[in-house]
A and B are shown apart, each in its own frame.
Chain A
Amino acid sequence: MTRQSPKVGIYGFTGCAGDQLMILNCEDQLVDLFGATEIRSFVMAKSDNHEGDLDVAFIEGSISTEEQLKRLKEIRDRARLVVAIGTCACHGGPQAMKLGEGKWDEMYKKVYGSAKIHVSKAFEAQPIDAFVKVDLYIPGCPIDKGEFLGSVSKLVAGRHPYLFTAPVCLECRWKENPCILYAGRFCGGPLTKAGCGAVCPSHNLPCVGCWGPTNDLNVSSEYKLLKEKGYDPDEILKKIRKFGGANVAKLLKDLEKGKEAKP
């Protein structure tokens, strides 16, 4: 039996292109990656792009124009699997940090004034799952080479990739870093998904939350830890919504509710 290499498309929407860049940053694996898969479309890297049916579409960036929305739906229609890569695609990213607060129109006017821009109608950036079904989330700002390549290998082999669900604190313990919170500084680690290797705490810096919120089952005790250290929900939200946007707000709200439910 001959195996066909999976047809892959790599796309980018509103963001910094950092996740596509991280794919190009896999210098030692790049040639193999192009060999093990059939990269049909990767506009940032090559000119000979062919659209059509795909086994996997990797999508970076949030959606912030009507044109992008149309394109996203069109990609979803012809892709067997849609993988959101990077925090912008997974959670909206920095441009979605105030999602749902209703201040976007005002901010837009401050940047562009009343000038008419007729490229495409713009709106407040949202993660891609606000519009289409997402089969796998690989968060990160930017994504981690290891998590990406590990996921690709699993997908090529027809298996489900393993990704972290635990918070950054787990990796921080593995690295034997002194705890930033215990040193009296705020750290986003307890509520942020692991996968970066606890890079900021390893540099004696607090976690900025760039992987977005964790979906670990144990998150409520992590939240309790932050509250014990004297941080209130507003402060926590302000610090870590920079990347996780509305999803962080939702997590905090759920945690608060959970706390109230239990006496």
Chain B
Amino acid sequence: MRALNVEALTRVEGDGGITVTLDGKRVKSVTLDVHEGPRLIEQLVKGMTPADDLNVVPRVCAICTLSHRYAALRALEKAIGIRPPEKAQLTRELMMLGENVESHSLHTFLLALPDCLGYPSAIAMLNDYADDVKRALRLKKFGNHVMAATSGRIVHGENPILGGFGKYPTKKALEEIKLKSHELVPDAVRAVELFASLEYPTYSEADMVFMSVNAPNKQYGFAGESILISNGKEVNVEDYKKLTSERVVSHSFAKRSMYQDKPFTVGANARLVNMGKRLDGQAADLFKEHYSDRWLKNPLMNNLAQAIEMVWSLEHMPELVDKITSLENPPIEQPTREDGAGTGAVEAPRGTLYHHYEIKKGLIDVSDIITPTAQNLDDIERHMRLTAERMLAEEKGDDEIRLGLEMVARAYDPCISCATHLVTLKRI
């Protein structure tokens, strides 16, 4: 019997750890433990007005703050009968592109790349990869800029509200975004080249099921009214519970999801598997060049998928800005009823995010939030288990196994909300 403790699953957003129990060459169990303390947000918003709920729920996650706000807005507006004006919808799309660039640049360059290149952090990469670290910071800063221009603040901006925006971004701010997004495309293309040039270990490979929203009008996008499953099925977002069937597990304060009793994956790779053919511009070319059957079984491809998506997000900003600036600022749409229910599904950078609300007499009666990482946890464990089994069979050392497992977990860009991570490898 042998036990091996490994320090810190670092560079992920959240307080979690991995415990692998090894019995000789057999993997007894692999668990991703979530140590993040419970917050009970869904219970706390009960009895609040929809507007008050919108102040609280984005605080579930700082990196996905606008995805939470957008999912909540879609659900709440449906529930109380608000039809957001076209300008509001387009401005929300723009804020999502900003969040996508911000989150993906942080994850690909600064959190995942150090693994692949063998550094403890992006800061440690400065001597050898100064240009790429600077590229990452440029992209991230710009993503943040778009988030601030649309939502009012870099993190937890309150500007997107029910029925519209407190204040629409100025034409000047939008034109700046248009110009700058165009300039930054080569930085994102470099991210694609970098992640395409890396060797990806095959240990974690296995057939996967992917889910993402189905963006409207056969276009690529980050919100929709139905969910695409890579087996060809499509499900209305109001039936989200059929897809996610949440349950509680003993080693985590994060709930888990299964589809037809099997784990599934959400995220940029899922979006590209389901909607990659809808990409256009340079993103489409890069997708065609780099997409292969491996994407269907190797979760590590999510890093490359995020890089391609970043190109698409930047390329789409100018078009969106033109549409937004062509419209007058509309008045804020008001609720048309006090009772109702609604589900909103959006694509957070790390996967599909659901918010569901039931409203009675203008106050929240039921709220249900299902985060992408909660949906991914079972599949992360499955791929880590395969990785551990196969690396053990090849008699790899503990350090190598540990890195292999961390890479799988990190590739999912998990967002557990961050602190004392612990990877524990127990050999019995």
Q: Which residues of A contact B (CB under 8 A)?
A: 11-22, 24-25, 27-28, 30-31, 34, 43-49, 61-65, 67-68, 71, 93-95, 97-98, 104, 107-108, 110-113, 115-120, 122, 125, 141-142, 145, 196, 199-200, 202-205, 208, 210, 239, 242
Q: In the complex, are the beta carbons of B10 and A43 less than 8 A apart?
A: yes
- Contact (A27, B11) CB under 8 Å given A95-B40, A208-B158, A242-B56: no
Cross-chain pairs A/B with CB under 8 angstroms, 11 sampled: A17-B13, A18-B65, A18-B156, A45-B123, A94-B39, A117-B251, A119-B252, A199-B152, A199-B157, A203-B158, A205-B166
- Nearest CB to that of B403 among chain A residues? A47
Does residue B216 face the partner (Cβ distance < 8 Å to A)? no
Count of chain B residues with a beta carbon within 8 Å of a chain A beta carbon: 66
- A115 CA to B247 CA, complexed, in Å: 9
- Contact (A27, B10) CB under 8 Å given A65-B35, A94-B44, A208-B55: no
Binds A, one of B81-89, B224-232, B299-307, B418-426: B418-426
- Nearest CB to that of B47 among chain A residues? A238
Does residue B43 face the partner (Cβ distance < 8 Å to A)? yes
Chain B residues lying within 8 Å of A199, measured Cβ to Cβ, are 152-153, 157-158
- Nearest CB to that of A141 among chain B residues? B156
- A95 CA to B61 CA, complexed, in Å: 13
- Nearest CB to that of B147 among chain A residues? A25
Q: Which residues of B contact A (CB under 8 A)?
A: 7-8, 10-15, 33-44, 52, 55-56, 59-63, 65, 106, 110, 114, 120-124, 126, 137-138, 140-141, 144, 152-159, 161, 165-167, 248-253, 417-421
- A231 CA to B62 CA, complexed, in Å: 32
- Contact (A17, B63) CB under 8 Å given A22-B155, A44-B10, A117-B248: yes
Chain B residues lying within 8 Å of A200, measured Cβ to Cβ, are 152, 158, 166
- A142 CA to B106 CA, complexed, in Å: 18
Q: In the complex, are the beta carbons of A108 and B40 less than 8 A apart?
A: yes
- Nearest CB to that of B14 among chain A residues? A17
- Nearest CB to that of B57 among chain A residues? A94
Q: In the complex, are the beta carbons of A95 and B418 less than 8 A apart?
A: no
Apart from A64-B38, A68-B37, A112-B38, list 7 A-B contacts with CB within 8 A: A13-B15, A15-B417, A47-B11, A61-B419, A95-B44, A142-B62, A210-B156
Q: In the complex, are the beta carbons of A47 and B114 less than 8 A apart?
A: yes
- Nearest CB to that of B44 among chain A residues? A97
Q: In the complex, are the beta carbons of B59 and A94 less than 8 A apart?
A: yes
Report which of A17, A48, A239 forms a contact with B124, defined as CB distance below 8 A: A48
Q: In the complex, are the beta carbons of B35 and A47 less than 8 A apart?
A: no
Q: In the complex, are the beta carbons of A16 and B253 less than 8 A apart?
A: no
Q: In the complex, are the beta carbons of A203 and B159 less than 8 A apart?
A: yes
Chain A residues lying within 8 Å of B153, measured Cβ to Cβ, are 196, 199
- Nearest CB to that of A120 among chain B residues? B35
Q: In the complex, are the beta carbons of A31 and B59 less than 8 A apart?
A: no
Q: How far is the CB of B101 from chain A (nearest CB, A)?
A: 13
Q: How far is the CB of A149 from chain B (nearest CB, A)?
A: 14
Q: Across the A-B interface, give the 4 residue pairs with the lowest CB-CB distance, nearest first.
A: A18-B62, A64-B37, A46-B121, A14-B37
- A77 CA to B36 CA, complexed, in Å: 22
Q: In the complex, are the beta carbons of A111 and B166 less than 8 A apart?
A: no
Q: In the complex, are the beta carbons of B155 and A18 less than 8 A apart?
A: yes
- A12 CA to B12 CA, complexed, in Å: 12
Q: How far is the CB of B422 from chain A (nearest CB, A)?
A: 10
- A141 CA to B153 CA, complexed, in Å: 10
Report which of A13, A20, A115 forms a contact with B250, defined as CB distance below 8 A: A115
Report which of A22, A46, A116, A242 forms a contact with B154, defined as CB distance below 8 A: A22
- Contact (A47, B43) CB under 8 Å given A18-B65, A20-B418, A21-B62: no
- A188 CA to B58 CA, complexed, in Å: 19
- A97 CA to B140 CA, complexed, in Å: 32
Q: In the complex, are the beta carbons of A17 and B418 less than 8 A apart?
A: yes
Chain B residues lying within 8 Å of A145, measured Cβ to Cβ, are 154
- A46 CA to B114 CA, complexed, in Å: 9
- A194 CA to B37 CA, complexed, in Å: 29
Q: How far is the CB of A67 from chain B (nearest CB, A)?
A: 6
- Contact (A116, B35) CB under 8 Å given A11-B419, A31-B123, A98-B44: no
Q: How far is the CB of B156 from chain A (nearest CB, A)?
A: 6
- A97 CA to B44 CA, complexed, in Å: 8
Chain A residues lying within 8 Å of B122, measured Cβ to Cβ, are 45-46
Q: How far is the CB of B18 from chain A (nearest CB, A)?
A: 13
Report which of A48, A115, A118, A204 forms a contact with B120, defined as CB distance below 8 A: A48
Q: How far is the CB of B29 from chain A (nearest CB, A)?
A: 14
Report which of B11, B34, B43, B137 forms a contact with A119, defined as CB distance below 8 A: B34
Chain A residues lying within 8 Å of B63, measured Cβ to Cβ, are 17, 21
Report which of A31, A44, A120 forms a contact with B11, defined as CB distance below 8 A: A44
Q: How far is the CB of B126 from chain A (nearest CB, A)?
A: 7
- A158 CA to B154 CA, complexed, in Å: 29
Chain A residues lying within 8 Å of B165, measured Cβ to Cβ, are 203
Report which of B44, B120, B154 forms a contact with A25, defined as CB distance below 8 A: B154
Q: In the complex, are the beta carbons of A47 and B44 less than 8 A apart?
A: no
- Contact (A115, B13) CB under 8 Å given A98-B44, A239-B52: no
Q: How far is the CB of B264 from chain A (nearest CB, A)?
A: 22
Q: In the complex, are the beta carbons of B420 and A95 less than 8 A apart?
A: no
Q: How far is the CB of B77 from chain A (nearest CB, A)?
A: 17
